[in-house]
Amino acid sequence: MSNVFSLKQPGSVEDRGLERNPGMPWSPEFVSRIRINRSAVERRAATMAKRRSVKKDYQSAWLLKAVSCIDLTTLAGDDTPGRVRRLCQKAMRPVRRDILDGLGVGDLALTTGAVCVYHNFIATAVKELGDSGIPVAAVSTGFPAGQIPLPLKIAQIRESVRAGAAEIDIVISRSAVLTGDWERIYNEVRAYREACGEAHVKAILATGELGTLANVAKASWVCMMAGADFIKTSTGKESVNATLPFSLVMVRAIREYHRLTGYKVGYKPAGGIGKAKDAIAYLILMKEELGNDWLDPHLFRFGASSLLADIERQLEHRLTGSYSASFRHPVG
Protein backbone atom coordinates (compact mmCIF):
# COMPACT_ATOMS: atom_id res chain seq x y z
CA MET A 1 0.00 0.00 0.00
CA SER A 2 2.92 2.37 0.55
CA ASN A 3 3.23 2.80 -3.22
CA VAL A 4 -0.35 3.98 -3.73
CA PHE A 5 0.58 7.52 -2.69
CA SER A 6 3.97 8.95 -1.86
CA LEU A 7 3.91 10.81 1.45
CA LYS A 8 6.51 13.55 1.73
CA GLN A 9 7.75 15.33 4.79
CA PRO A 10 6.70 18.97 5.03
CA GLY A 11 9.38 21.43 3.96
CA SER A 12 9.83 24.67 2.11
CA VAL A 13 8.13 25.30 -1.20
CA GLU A 14 11.56 25.88 -2.67
CA ASP A 15 12.54 22.31 -1.68
CA ARG A 16 9.74 21.08 -3.95
CA GLY A 17 10.83 23.26 -6.84
CA LEU A 18 7.79 25.51 -6.41
CA GLU A 19 8.22 29.24 -6.77
CA ARG A 20 6.17 31.37 -4.38
CA ASN A 21 3.32 33.36 -5.80
CA PRO A 22 4.64 36.94 -6.07
CA GLY A 23 1.24 38.36 -6.88
CA MET A 24 0.51 40.80 -9.66
CA PRO A 25 -0.34 44.49 -10.02
CA TRP A 26 -3.83 45.52 -8.99
CA SER A 27 -6.30 45.42 -11.87
CA PRO A 28 -10.04 45.73 -11.19
CA GLU A 29 -10.93 44.05 -14.48
CA PHE A 30 -10.07 40.61 -13.09
CA VAL A 31 -12.69 41.10 -10.39
CA SER A 32 -15.40 42.93 -12.33
CA ARG A 33 -15.77 40.26 -15.00
CA ILE A 34 -16.30 37.32 -12.59
CA ARG A 35 -19.67 35.59 -12.84
CA ILE A 36 -20.71 32.41 -11.02
CA ASN A 37 -23.49 29.99 -12.04
CA ARG A 38 -24.65 28.87 -8.60
CA SER A 39 -26.86 26.00 -9.75
CA ALA A 40 -24.02 24.55 -11.86
CA VAL A 41 -21.61 24.81 -8.95
CA GLU A 42 -24.02 23.07 -6.60
CA ARG A 43 -24.73 20.28 -9.10
CA ARG A 44 -21.03 19.62 -9.60
CA ALA A 45 -20.33 19.70 -5.86
CA ALA A 46 -23.19 17.29 -5.14
CA THR A 47 -21.64 14.63 -7.40
CA MET A 48 -18.05 15.14 -6.25
CA ALA A 49 -17.79 12.25 -3.80
CA LYS A 50 -19.99 9.95 -5.89
CA ARG A 51 -17.80 9.89 -8.98
CA ARG A 52 -15.12 7.67 -7.46
CA SER A 53 -15.28 4.57 -5.29
CA VAL A 54 -12.28 4.38 -2.98
CA LYS A 55 -12.08 1.09 -1.09
CA LYS A 56 -9.77 -1.11 0.98
CA ASP A 57 -6.03 -0.37 0.62
CA TYR A 58 -6.72 2.58 -1.64
CA GLN A 59 -9.03 4.10 0.93
CA SER A 60 -6.36 3.67 3.60
CA ALA A 61 -3.80 5.32 1.34
CA TRP A 62 -6.09 8.29 0.70
CA LEU A 63 -6.65 8.66 4.44
CA LEU A 64 -2.92 8.56 5.17
CA LYS A 65 -2.47 11.23 2.52
CA ALA A 66 -5.15 13.30 4.27
CA VAL A 67 -3.25 13.00 7.56
CA SER A 68 -0.14 14.46 5.94
CA CYS A 69 -2.20 17.49 4.85
CA ILE A 70 -3.77 18.37 8.21
CA ASP A 71 -2.97 21.63 10.00
CA LEU A 72 -3.46 20.15 13.47
CA THR A 73 -5.14 23.02 15.25
CA THR A 74 -6.06 24.28 18.68
CA LEU A 75 -7.64 27.73 18.85
CA ALA A 76 -9.55 27.69 22.11
CA GLY A 77 -9.79 30.25 24.88
CA ASP A 78 -8.67 27.64 27.41
CA ASP A 79 -5.54 26.52 25.52
CA THR A 80 -2.57 25.80 27.76
CA PRO A 81 1.12 25.06 27.10
CA GLY A 82 0.45 21.45 28.05
CA ARG A 83 -2.32 21.09 25.47
CA VAL A 84 -0.12 22.61 22.78
CA ARG A 85 2.78 20.28 23.64
CA ARG A 86 0.48 17.25 23.43
CA LEU A 87 -0.83 18.48 20.09
CA CYS A 88 2.73 18.78 18.79
CA GLN A 89 3.53 15.25 19.91
CA LYS A 90 0.47 14.01 18.06
CA ALA A 91 1.53 15.98 14.97
CA MET A 92 4.87 14.16 14.96
CA ARG A 93 3.21 10.76 15.44
CA PRO A 94 -0.34 11.23 14.14
CA VAL A 95 -1.24 7.56 13.69
CA ARG A 96 -0.49 4.85 16.24
CA ARG A 97 2.52 2.70 15.38
CA ASP A 98 0.57 -0.57 15.68
CA ILE A 99 -1.92 0.68 13.08
CA LEU A 100 0.83 1.68 10.65
CA ASP A 101 2.58 -1.66 11.15
CA GLY A 102 -0.68 -3.52 10.58
CA LEU A 103 -1.21 -1.64 7.32
CA GLY A 104 2.30 -2.53 6.17
CA VAL A 105 3.61 1.04 6.23
CA GLY A 106 5.46 1.04 9.54
CA ASP A 107 8.47 2.73 7.93
CA LEU A 108 6.38 5.67 6.71
CA ALA A 109 7.71 8.98 8.05
CA LEU A 110 4.20 10.32 8.53
CA THR A 111 3.52 13.69 10.16
CA THR A 112 0.77 16.27 9.87
CA GLY A 113 1.29 19.25 7.57
CA ALA A 114 1.60 21.85 10.34
CA VAL A 115 0.53 22.80 13.85
CA CYS A 116 -1.71 25.88 14.08
CA VAL A 117 -1.96 27.91 17.31
CA TYR A 118 -2.55 31.37 18.70
CA HIS A 119 0.42 33.74 18.91
CA ASN A 120 1.03 33.13 22.63
CA PHE A 121 1.83 29.47 21.98
CA ILE A 122 4.16 29.82 18.99
CA ALA A 123 7.33 29.50 21.08
CA THR A 124 5.92 26.47 22.90
CA ALA A 125 5.08 24.74 19.62
CA VAL A 126 8.41 25.60 17.97
CA LYS A 127 10.33 24.19 20.91
CA GLU A 128 8.24 21.01 21.13
CA LEU A 129 8.44 20.29 17.40
CA GLY A 130 12.21 20.77 17.39
CA ASP A 131 13.85 19.51 14.20
CA SER A 132 10.80 17.52 13.05
CA GLY A 133 10.40 19.75 10.00
CA ILE A 134 6.76 20.47 10.88
CA PRO A 135 6.03 24.21 10.47
CA VAL A 136 4.14 26.24 13.06
CA ALA A 137 1.24 28.28 11.72
CA ALA A 138 -0.18 31.19 13.70
CA VAL A 139 -3.50 32.96 13.27
CA SER A 140 -3.14 36.72 13.08
CA THR A 141 -4.60 40.09 12.02
CA GLY A 142 -7.25 40.13 14.72
CA PHE A 143 -8.42 36.55 14.14
CA PRO A 144 -11.24 35.59 13.83
CA ALA A 145 -13.19 38.81 13.11
CA GLY A 146 -10.31 41.03 11.98
CA GLN A 147 -11.91 44.06 13.63
CA ILE A 148 -8.74 45.85 14.72
CA PRO A 149 -6.75 48.67 13.04
CA LEU A 150 -4.45 47.76 10.15
CA PRO A 151 -1.23 48.84 11.97
CA LEU A 152 -2.05 46.39 14.78
CA LYS A 153 -2.67 43.62 12.27
CA ILE A 154 0.72 44.18 10.70
CA ALA A 155 2.37 44.35 14.11
CA GLN A 156 0.77 41.02 15.04
CA ILE A 157 2.20 39.39 11.93
CA ARG A 158 5.69 40.70 12.59
CA GLU A 159 5.61 39.52 16.21
CA SER A 160 4.43 36.05 15.18
CA VAL A 161 7.16 35.73 12.55
CA ARG A 162 9.71 36.91 15.10
CA ALA A 163 8.46 34.22 17.51
CA GLY A 164 9.09 31.50 14.94
CA ALA A 165 5.88 31.05 12.94
CA ALA A 166 6.61 29.79 9.41
CA GLU A 167 3.04 30.35 8.23
CA ILE A 168 0.60 33.15 9.04
CA ASP A 169 -3.16 32.64 8.68
CA ILE A 170 -4.59 36.12 8.13
CA VAL A 171 -8.24 37.19 7.93
CA ILE A 172 -9.49 39.57 5.28
CA SER A 173 -11.82 42.49 5.99
CA ARG A 174 -15.26 41.06 5.28
CA SER A 175 -16.84 44.52 5.33
CA ALA A 176 -14.69 45.48 2.34
CA VAL A 177 -16.02 42.47 0.43
CA LEU A 178 -19.63 43.30 1.25
CA THR A 179 -19.16 46.92 0.16
CA GLY A 180 -17.19 45.99 -2.96
CA ASP A 181 -13.97 47.69 -1.85
CA TRP A 182 -11.71 45.16 -3.54
CA GLU A 183 -8.70 47.45 -3.84
CA ARG A 184 -8.66 47.84 -0.05
CA ILE A 185 -8.47 44.07 0.36
CA TYR A 186 -5.68 43.89 -2.21
CA ASN A 187 -3.66 46.59 -0.45
CA GLU A 188 -4.15 45.00 2.97
CA VAL A 189 -3.15 41.50 1.86
CA ARG A 190 -0.18 42.98 0.01
CA ALA A 191 0.91 44.63 3.27
CA TYR A 192 0.48 41.34 5.12
CA ARG A 193 2.64 39.56 2.55
CA GLU A 194 5.38 42.15 3.02
CA ALA A 195 5.18 41.88 6.82
CA CYS A 196 5.43 38.07 6.62
CA GLY A 197 8.75 38.09 4.81
CA GLU A 198 9.77 34.45 4.31
CA ALA A 199 6.74 33.17 6.24
CA HIS A 200 3.87 32.07 4.04
CA VAL A 201 0.55 33.91 3.90
CA LYS A 202 -2.66 31.88 4.18
CA ALA A 203 -5.57 34.22 3.49
CA ILE A 204 -8.83 33.32 5.27
CA LEU A 205 -11.88 34.50 3.34
CA ALA A 206 -14.58 33.56 5.91
CA THR A 207 -16.68 32.28 3.02
CA GLY A 208 -19.81 31.83 5.12
CA GLU A 209 -19.95 35.59 5.70
CA LEU A 210 -19.33 36.81 2.14
CA GLY A 211 -22.92 36.59 0.93
CA THR A 212 -22.52 35.09 -2.55
CA LEU A 213 -20.37 32.60 -4.46
CA ALA A 214 -19.35 35.46 -6.76
CA ASN A 215 -17.92 37.30 -3.74
CA VAL A 216 -16.03 34.14 -2.78
CA ALA A 217 -14.53 33.94 -6.27
CA LYS A 218 -13.65 37.64 -6.31
CA ALA A 219 -12.05 37.53 -2.85
CA SER A 220 -10.02 34.49 -3.95
CA TRP A 221 -8.68 36.36 -6.98
CA VAL A 222 -7.87 39.52 -5.03
CA CYS A 223 -5.91 37.61 -2.38
CA MET A 224 -3.95 35.68 -4.99
CA MET A 225 -3.23 38.88 -6.92
CA ALA A 226 -1.90 40.36 -3.68
CA GLY A 227 0.54 37.46 -3.23
CA ALA A 228 -1.21 35.00 -0.93
CA ASP A 229 0.49 31.59 -0.82
CA PHE A 230 -2.76 29.86 0.23
CA ILE A 231 -6.40 30.79 0.21
CA LYS A 232 -8.51 29.33 3.01
CA THR A 233 -12.26 29.04 3.46
CA SER A 234 -12.94 29.84 7.08
CA THR A 235 -11.74 30.61 10.57
CA GLY A 236 -13.82 27.75 11.91
CA LYS A 237 -15.70 30.26 14.06
CA GLU A 238 -18.41 31.20 11.56
CA SER A 239 -21.86 29.62 11.47
CA VAL A 240 -21.08 28.23 7.99
CA ASN A 241 -17.53 27.09 7.31
CA ALA A 242 -16.00 24.92 4.58
CA THR A 243 -18.41 23.44 2.03
CA LEU A 244 -17.82 21.74 -1.30
CA PRO A 245 -19.55 24.54 -3.31
CA PHE A 246 -17.33 27.18 -1.68
CA SER A 247 -14.32 24.95 -2.28
CA LEU A 248 -15.16 24.32 -5.92
CA VAL A 249 -15.35 28.05 -6.60
CA MET A 250 -12.04 28.67 -4.84
CA VAL A 251 -10.07 25.85 -6.47
CA ARG A 252 -11.28 26.88 -9.91
CA ALA A 253 -10.04 30.38 -9.17
CA ILE A 254 -6.69 28.80 -8.25
CA ARG A 255 -6.72 26.84 -11.52
CA GLU A 256 -7.39 29.94 -13.61
CA TYR A 257 -4.80 31.97 -11.72
CA HIS A 258 -2.22 29.24 -12.41
CA ARG A 259 -3.11 29.25 -16.10
CA LEU A 260 -2.72 33.02 -16.23
CA THR A 261 0.47 33.43 -14.20
CA GLY A 262 2.14 30.02 -13.95
CA TYR A 263 2.17 30.23 -10.13
CA LYS A 264 0.58 27.59 -7.93
CA VAL A 265 -1.46 28.80 -4.96
CA GLY A 266 -2.43 26.42 -2.17
CA TYR A 267 -5.88 25.71 -0.81
CA LYS A 268 -7.08 25.10 2.76
CA PRO A 269 -10.66 24.16 3.67
CA ALA A 270 -11.24 24.69 7.38
CA GLY A 271 -14.09 24.32 9.83
CA GLY A 272 -16.66 21.55 9.97
CA ILE A 273 -14.46 18.84 8.41
CA GLY A 274 -14.47 16.13 11.04
CA LYS A 275 -15.09 12.85 9.22
CA ALA A 276 -12.76 10.68 7.16
CA LYS A 277 -15.30 10.46 4.32
CA ASP A 278 -15.30 14.27 4.11
CA ALA A 279 -11.51 14.28 3.80
CA ILE A 280 -11.69 11.90 0.86
CA ALA A 281 -14.30 14.08 -0.85
CA TYR A 282 -11.98 17.09 -0.61
CA LEU A 283 -9.00 15.10 -1.88
CA ILE A 284 -11.11 13.98 -4.86
CA LEU A 285 -12.01 17.62 -5.49
CA MET A 286 -8.34 18.59 -5.55
CA LYS A 287 -7.34 15.69 -7.80
CA GLU A 288 -10.12 16.26 -10.33
CA GLU A 289 -9.96 20.05 -10.45
CA LEU A 290 -6.25 20.77 -9.95
CA GLY A 291 -4.37 17.49 -10.41
CA ASN A 292 -1.92 15.44 -8.38
CA ASP A 293 0.44 18.36 -7.71
CA TRP A 294 -2.12 19.72 -5.26
CA LEU A 295 -2.32 16.41 -3.35
CA ASP A 296 0.58 17.56 -1.23
CA PRO A 297 0.90 19.52 2.04
CA HIS A 298 2.79 22.24 0.19
CA LEU A 299 -0.37 23.07 -1.74
CA PHE A 300 -3.24 21.57 0.24
CA ARG A 301 -4.16 21.57 3.94
CA PHE A 302 -7.13 20.72 6.10
CA GLY A 303 -7.78 23.08 8.99
CA ALA A 304 -8.92 20.49 11.52
CA SER A 305 -8.22 18.58 14.70
CA SER A 306 -11.12 16.16 15.23
CA LEU A 307 -10.60 14.91 11.66
CA LEU A 308 -7.39 13.15 12.66
CA ALA A 309 -9.13 11.11 15.37
CA ASP A 310 -11.79 9.87 12.94
CA ILE A 311 -9.19 8.98 10.30
CA GLU A 312 -7.20 6.97 12.84
CA ARG A 313 -10.41 5.23 13.90
CA GLN A 314 -11.21 4.33 10.29
CA LEU A 315 -7.70 2.99 9.73
CA GLU A 316 -8.04 0.76 12.79
CA HIS A 317 -11.38 -0.45 11.43
CA ARG A 318 -9.57 -1.48 8.25
CA LEU A 319 -7.39 -3.79 10.35
CA THR A 320 -9.88 -5.15 12.86
CA GLY A 321 -13.25 -4.96 11.11
CA SER A 322 -14.81 -3.15 14.06
CA TYR A 323 -14.96 0.46 15.23
CA SER A 324 -13.20 1.40 18.44
CA ALA A 325 -14.37 4.00 20.93
CA SER A 326 -13.38 7.58 20.10
CA PHE A 327 -11.44 7.99 23.35
CA ARG A 328 -8.89 5.48 22.04
CA HIS A 329 -7.77 8.09 19.52
CA PRO A 330 -6.94 11.28 21.42
CA VAL A 331 -5.72 14.27 19.44
CA GLY A 332 -4.08 16.49 22.04
SS3 73: strand
Q: Distance from first CA to last CA of the chain, Å, rounded?
A: 28
- CB neighbour class for 261 (10 Å; exposed up to 12, middle 13-18, buried from 19): middle
Q: Which long-range contacts (CB under 8 A, 24 or more apart) does 256-261 make?
A: 257/221, 257/224, 261/21, 261/24
CB atoms within 10 A of CB 252: 17
Q: Give the CA count within 13 Å in the CB-facing half-sphere of 45.
A: 20
Degrees, nearest 5: CA angle 315-316-317: 90
Degrees, nearest 5: CA angle 249-241-66: 80
Whether cis (ω within 30° of 0) applies to the bond prior to 151 is: no
Which of 235, 247, 232, 231 is CA-nearest to residue 283?
247
Position 271: which residue type? G
Q: How far is 134 from 56, CA to CA, in rounded Å?
A: 29
Phi, psi of 268 (to 5 degrees): -140, 105
CB atoms within 10 A of CB 332: 20
Q: How far is 196 from 217, CA to CA, in rounded Å?
A: 24
Catalytic residue among 232, 264, 296, 310: 232
**Catalytic residue status for 169:** yes
Catalytic residue among 90, 153, 218, 268: 268
Catalytic residue among 71, 169, 278, 310: 169
**Residues designated catalytic:** 169, 232, 268
